[in-house]
Structure 1
Amino acid sequence: MNTPSGGLKLSSILFGLMALGQLWRLVAQPEVLMSGVPVPVWPSALAFILLLVLSIWLWRLSKRAT
């Protein structure tokens, strides 16, 4: 796991898990309060897209690094 491809794969998996967490928030729509003010759901959609793109990008980079 001390190879560049291993680190890229691990990072890709972590970004993928974070993307799944954001997707869960989009689907479940739990009430999230910040200082008593509800946080809208739309930032989770942006975060999901960004994290998914990062995950796919790093996974592809890990395939080239081998």
Structure 2
Amino acid sequence: MTLRIFSLIAAAVFLLIALAHTLRVLFGWHITVGNVVVPVWTSWIGLAIAGYLAYQGFRVSRRVRSEVRVFGK
């Protein structure tokens, strides 16, 4: 797997996570872990972090031109 493909896959995963946080904020979905309700403001933090990581992943995938291998030979 090349660095470009790895970066694209990681960026797409983080983009989906950011989308899930966005939907939670917009629709006000509640999440309960055990007996504790997770506040919606935590999704703002998750959105910022996942969005930043997705942005960086797409940026790295555009900048990589050589066939640098991440896994395998």
Same topology, TM > 0.5: yes
2:30–2:40 contact (8 Å) kept in structure 1: no
The structure that is helix-richer by fraction is 1
What's the Cα RMSD here?
1.0
Which residue of the partner structure matches residue 13 of structure 1?
12
For this pair of structures, how many residues does the alignment match? 65
Which residue of the partner structure matches residue 35 of structure 1?
34
Tell me the distance in 1 between the aligned counterparts of 2:49 and 2:34: 26
Q: Which structure would you say has the larger Rg?
A: 2
TM-score calculated relative to the size of structure 1: 0.89
Moved over 6 A (4+): none
Tell me the distance in 1 between the aligned counterparts of 2:42 and 2:61: 28
In the alignment, structure 2 segments of 5+ residues that lack a partner are: 66-73
In the alignment, structure 1 segments of 5+ residues that lack a partner are: none
Tell me the distance in 2 between the aligned counterparts of 1:63 and 1:37: 41
